[in-house]
Amino acid sequence: MDSGGGRLKASSSSNGGRTRVGKYELGRTLGEGNFAKVKFARNTETDDNVAIKILDKEKVLKHKMISQIKREIATMKLIRHPNVIRMFEVMASKTKIYIVLEFVTGGELFDKIVSRGRMKEDEARKYFQQLINAVDYCHSRGVFHRDLKPENLLLDANGVLKVSDFGLSALPQQVREDGLLHTTCGTPNYVAPEVINNKGYDGAKADLWSCGVILFVLMAGYLPFEDSNLVALYKKIHKAEFTCPPWFSTNAKKLIKRILDPNPATRITIPEVIENEWFRKGYKPPTFEQADISLDDVDAIFNETGVSGNLVVERKEERPAAPLTMNAFELISKSQGLNLSSLFEKQMGLVKRETRFTSNRPAKEILSKIEETAAPLGFDVKKNNYKMKLQGEKTGRKGHLSVATEIYEVAPSLYMVELRKAGGDTLEFHKFYKNLKTGLKDIVWKHEEDADEGDSGAGASASVSKPR
């Protein structure tokens, strides 16, 4: 799927005013953060579905780190492993970088814990083996994740684990002269103590710690280190203060305690984990082939001479004066495989980075009601057809809370409203949505079982479903 060196034309699709970038037709936004947005897309030449990560060039490159970012992307493109999301190609316009990635439909691994509770040991071991396979392979090629957490563990349609964002989650970081990484990152509950210390850390050892926390959660259904007070949480992590539940086998307890060793010098290594008796049970090393891969597109997007022939052009038609119609596949892509039961949130405890509700009111009425409800909550509202950006006026724990809202028509007179955290703190988003939903009660289409159950069911298992 390499683009080659020719100029990639872009045009808008006639299907509802969708945008095309090169041979890809862009669809709905799957997720977004401060520096990147991920969109569902279709390769118009092969009809394959992909995910495209769109980065703002100015934000990513302002630290003059072109060579390092180029190296990260080139390395990731060379990685072909059954348990790592595949990168197909990379393109650039004058202002954006487009990273074309494998699209998987099985949802997040941790959704299984939220819906079913903890896993049996054999099932947890199977996923842990796949996780270690992926991490070990990437480390052998000099790529460290640095931010392993629940949202980065996806499942394909066959239930195979796929680690996403390897090498991309911490692009602007670098190894200093001492050979150590020095940027604190990651979700606090999953981060190794030496990362929090900010005295430099070994990326491989830090990744393994995160894998250990993930294994604990898979088998326990809750986090080993949890505290609402961040200082208290860090103390627990530094001292590795945790207790394995009684249902863990003796060998599983021993392995987890060796992984969650707060001293990186004595912490077990990945090669030692792979030789561990508990890990080896039912273990099947991955089989895959290395293909010839061109890096021409990676060189082209960072061509500092600015040759326009290497750039793609993103061209948009005016959006029609109606909500974008969501086709059946895109609707299913938001659920786990073909299971639509998880599509519409019913319990507030599960609301984290994004949520959605349905309404049978007219789309313009929905927009007006959201604007009317958000303004008194201290949010500035910007509208663009049937999209809205709600920007919090107050500075929160992680800056201003920013919420992206979009309305989709899923059937005649039935709309799906999606709200995504675009910036700020996840828990603040959770609180905002709870307040917003109260004000929207007249337009939200209620299910009988959704009679404002409050936060019931939002216990320990829900707290690990998404990072904070």
Q: What are the residue numbers of the active site?
A: 147
Return the exposure string of 191-214: e unless at least 16 CB atoms fall within 10 Å of the residue's CB, then b. bbbbbbeeeebbbbbbbbbbbbbb
Token pair for residue 103? Answer: 């699209």
CA distances from 40 to 20, 24, 53 (A): 12, 10, 9
Q: Are 363 and 326 in contact (CB under 8 A)?
A: no
Q: Which residues contact 305 (CB under 8 A, 6 or more apart)?
A: none
Rounded to an integer, what distance in angstroms lies between the CA atom of residue 402 and that of residue 265?
Answer: 41
| Angstrom distance (rounded) from CA 45 to CA 47 | 6
Q: Phi, psi (5° rounding) for residue 9?
A: -80, 150
- Are 380 and 391 within 8 A, CB to CB? yes
- Alpha-carbon distance of 163 to 145, in angstroms, equals 9
Angle formed at CA 39 by CA 133 and CA 44, multiple of 5 degrees: 95
Ligand-binding annotation for 162, yes or no, is: no
Which amino acid, 9? K
Please give the span between the terminal C-alpha atoms of the chain, in angstroms, as a whole number.
36
Binding residue ranges for ATP: 53
